[in-house]
Amino acid sequence: MNTFNRLTIVAAVEVIADFNSTSEMGVLEVQWNLDQHGISSNGKSARVRDWARIAANLNPQVLTEMGQVPLARALVEMAILAPSNTQQNPEWKKLLAGLRFDGFELVDAKMPTGRIDVFGEPDVETRYELRRMLPQDVPEADFREAASEVEILLDQLSLPVAKGHLQQALSAFQRGEWSSANGELRNFYENYLNEIADDLGFSGSGGSKERRDFLGDGATPPFLLADYNEWNANIQKPQYVQGLMSRMHPHGGHPGLSEEEDATFRLQISLITARLFLRRFQKRKTV
């Protein structure tokens, strides 16, 4: 599977096109031997389409300063060198969102320029560097995989409302609309737990909290496991499910925490949690 999703690839090409001329893109096509895959010469927009298509569908190895790398990687590495004015554009936000969904973030790195500054010291410049947010070999840490499986499970379990909230959250996240993404993720989390409770026999008149209590104490056997601290009748005890619900409903911003980092965390933990509980629900229904 390609390391980068199509959103990331398209955004990377769009960013590159913003700070490179048509002739400069033509030189890169020669360097990367892209013309063999069919490149249109009818302006930048056609080139963006063709580059993205080749990277997403074929992802050939191309020659760069880093050696032979897949085209998608070369595109991303070039895109993150974008000047500050390009970083104000919507395409840059799309690139960041796509990279986070791929499990990457950008960090500042000081790189030597090979020049000497006015004080006689080696000159350095600050550039972005790709870094994985989690180790590559952590099992089931691929959030694209998680999203895909969760959507499949929502279809199989007939949970269209929850799926709608998840799709809205993913769309908002990809557009860099962090607050909207957070709100839809809260709705997603609450809805699928409510639906599971109703399917397993909840018949009370209460709301979401009562349904979560039912999943921990009323369902037979319990769906939320006290042994794993997912739920507990004693509210003073650690409870993952209620703790996550509280974390998804903070009041106001918090100093030192960017909205982008917070939205990324919520997306990641929401997908991993949903996959766990939806898998469990599917097994319960097939027993």
Nearest to 231 by CA among 244, 248, 247: 244
For residue 234, tell me if it sits in a domain: yes
* Structural contact between residues 154 and 278, judged by C-beta atoms closer than 8 angstroms: yes
Boundary-marking domain end, from 107, 128, 159: 107
Segment (H or E) for 125: strand 122-132
User: Residue 80 class from Cβ within 10 Å (0-12 exposed, 13-18 middle, 19+ buried)?
Assistant: buried
Task: Give Rg (Cα) of the chain.
Answer: 23
* Structural contact between residues 89 and 27, judged by C-beta atoms closer than 8 angstroms: no
One domain for residues 61 and 163: no
For residue 192, tell me if it sits in a domain: yes
One domain for residues 149 and 101: no
Boundary-marking domain end, from 107, 126, 154: 107
Q: How many residues are present in the chain? A: 287
Boundary-marking domain end, from 107, 129, 162: 107
Number of H helices, E strands in the chain: 11, 4
For residue 181, tell me if it sits in a domain: yes
Domain limits for position 26: 6-107
Instruction: Count the domains in the chain.
Output: 2
* 169 backbone φψ class: left, alpha, beta (φ>0; ψ -120 to 50): alpha
Q: Which residues on neighbouring strands pair with residue 105, listed in sequence order? A: 131
CA distance 33 to 162: 45
One domain for residues 165 and 277: yes
User: Residue 107 class from Cβ within 10 Å (0-12 exposed, 13-18 middle, 19+ buried)?
Assistant: exposed
One domain for residues 85 and 152: no
Nearest to 98 by CA among 174, 149, 151: 174
Q: Per the confidence metrics, is the pTM higher than 0.75? A: no
Q: How many CB atoms lie within 10 A of CB 116?
A: 10
Question: Going residue by residue through the chain (287 aa), what tens digit of pLDDT does each one get?
Answer: 678 989 999 999 999 999 999 999 999 999 999 988 888 767 788 889 999 999 999 999 999 888 899 999 999 999 999 998 999 999 998 898 889 888 888 887 665 656 776 667 665 566 788 888 766 655 555 677 777 889 999 999 999 999 999 999 988 888 888 889 999 999 999 999 999 999 999 987 888 999 999 999 989 999 999 999 999 988 888 899 999 999 988 765 555 557 888 888 898 899 989 999 999 999 998 87
